[in-house]
Structure 1
């Protein structure tokens, strides 16, 4: 039995996961007939979605749905990747600023002694110098609520102690069984610049003496010539290498042969 192509159950969209992961609908994901365009790239107004897509393609940008719940949905023609980058950058800056401006709490009681007061004041100075706000309160328990004036005096004294690094945002107020005062860090003041050190004055150069004018018709004096003229560098001549001749051996002259001796004449024969 031949089986046909597998049916697409429930009209499954192949881009469904991508659309779920993406924060905004862009370009062909926008399936409404009309959209309202805003922004600097186009003239604001209501456009057909196909026309808006064509305009975005002509500008090499994206059609991004900003407010999907509006009728018709509000869109902008922008660079979507750049839009996401700037959005993440702003969120990061907001988190950093929120971390910097934490609110630190310091608790007092109507019977806080001087040692405890000084200890907490040092901590509050540290928090304010770091750029954090400080929330101080006096906790009243039971019948201690009758001593509200004592709590107010503690907070005002605390404000005087922190006057150099923090400012009291308002007078102490009661909230339930607490008297609260909030301190904000003061902006860092520029250190006063001391008097500038005078620059060392250089001694002035003595003026050159004026030369006496030469009377008219007088020949100028000859210039002194240097005593030693620069000598030219000696010319290097090639070195001749003479090789010694090998000694020639003379052949010994033969010794002269001795002369023959004259024999004496034989007298007997002559006779």
Structure 2
């Protein structure tokens, strides 16, 4: 969350240490005088270090400063979200899942793998479905085949807690393809060597 800064008339201390818009120290002075300097130069007086004695205030465009601070915070949040995680996410299916629903769950797994998370794909068996584990194996094989370019199998399908057949997929980070040289570039290289 963005820090709250006091600016202009909200600064309630008698003296401040003033830093101008270029970062040069103007020294310790009464707050009224610092406000007059800020007003003359067309800037706001912003308290940047309230814990210091006397507090440090800076001349700046406060609106622009707040905008930059929120933009940096938003970018930091986005960077944290996009960072590779070793988090294990789970996608669950039932043996009687429809084809479209299976594809939707598989695309979800692909998106999670793309974000850098490991994905545990589980098939739940209900009632007498447990007598046909091959249905779950077929389902997991179809998911693994769809994700063959994006994932490698970290743990093959196996039963967990009796009624769940699960496999764990880890993301594969492919290197970008190298640019292929055209025939003319190759022939030029050969001619240069001759």
Normalised to the residue count of structure 1, the TM-score between the two structures is 0.36
In terms of fraction of residues, the more helix-rich structure is: 2
Question: Whose strand proportion is higher, 1 or 2?
Answer: 2
